[in-house]
Amino acid sequence: MRIIEGDACVAEGAHWLKANHKPFAKIIPLIEPLPLRLRPDGFGQLLSAIMSQQVSVASARAISGRLEEAGLLEEDAVAEASEEELRACGLSRQKIRYAGELARARIDYEGLRNADSETVVKTLTAVPGIGRWTAEIYAMFSLGHADVFAPNDLALQIAAQHAFDLPERPTEKELRALAENWSPWRAVAARALFAYYHHIKGREGLS
């Protein structure tokens, strides 16, 4: 299993994609160098992902700030926190439940660092509040897996539609099938499409 550890890995994947797929040969020169986008792993990262669901970036940051001030960013602290304490930080009833479920799940985060992508996804999606998209993004950017993709992401769907001249925005199933062609560098393809989305999002008619 290939792990992306630095910019050289991303550059290698970008070179392979350009050499093997014409659409990437067209779009990657517009957006190089591709971003590394690696982030920390562990409980805090997943808690942040849950807190960010269905709220604005500003709201998510405000909630995270309150949790930090209250000392509620660690697994043990969240597991022992009362509903009132979590509500005071701005969490909805549903997110209070999800945060508690995540804390009580006692995921072996160190063990996940050596697990394959499907094991990571299966482990994380067993926790209420964590869907496949969150699990795939975690494998891609927190664990550095080189051959994982998140086809349910709206930005990736829009970027793929434009890059591959598709008549309509692909569904999750359609994009997952298309992404199979980009193995073993699907996570680099995702980085390219994320960057391309930002490149084109100002164009008239983009939806």
Extract the tokens encoding 2.
């290939």
Residue 89: how many other CB atoms lie within 10 Å:
21
User: Could you give the CA distance from residue 188 to residue 182 in angstroms, rounded to a whole number?
Assistant: 9
pLDDT tens-digit profile of 17-63? 999 999 999 999 999 999 999 999 999 999 999 988 888 889 989 99
Extract the tokens encoding 180.
């199979």
Distances (CA, A) of 60 to 36, 120, 173: 23, 25, 29
The pLDDT score that the predictor gives to residue 202 is 67
Give the type of residue at 173: K
pLDDT band at 201 (very low <50, low <70, confident <90, very high): confident
pTM of the predicted protein model: 0.91
The pLDDT score that the predictor gives to residue 120 is 98
The pLDDT score that the predictor gives to residue 54 is 81
pLDDT band at 181 (very low <50, low <70, confident <90, very high): very high
What are the residues whose beta carbons fall under 8 Å from the beta carbon of 157, sequence distance 6 or more?
151, 169, 170, 171, 172, 175
The pLDDT score that the predictor gives to residue 57 is 84
Nearest to 72 by CA among 107, 92, 96: 96
Q: Counting beta carbons within 10 angstroms of the beta carbon of residue 93, is it exposed (0 to 12), middle (13 to 18) or buried (19 or more)?
A: exposed
The pLDDT score that the predictor gives to residue 25 is 98
Task: Calculate what percentage of the chain has a pLDDT beyond 90.
Answer: 91
Average pLDDT, integer, range 118-128: 97
Asked if pLDDT for residue 204 goes beyond 80, the answer is no
The pLDDT score that the predictor gives to residue 52 is 87
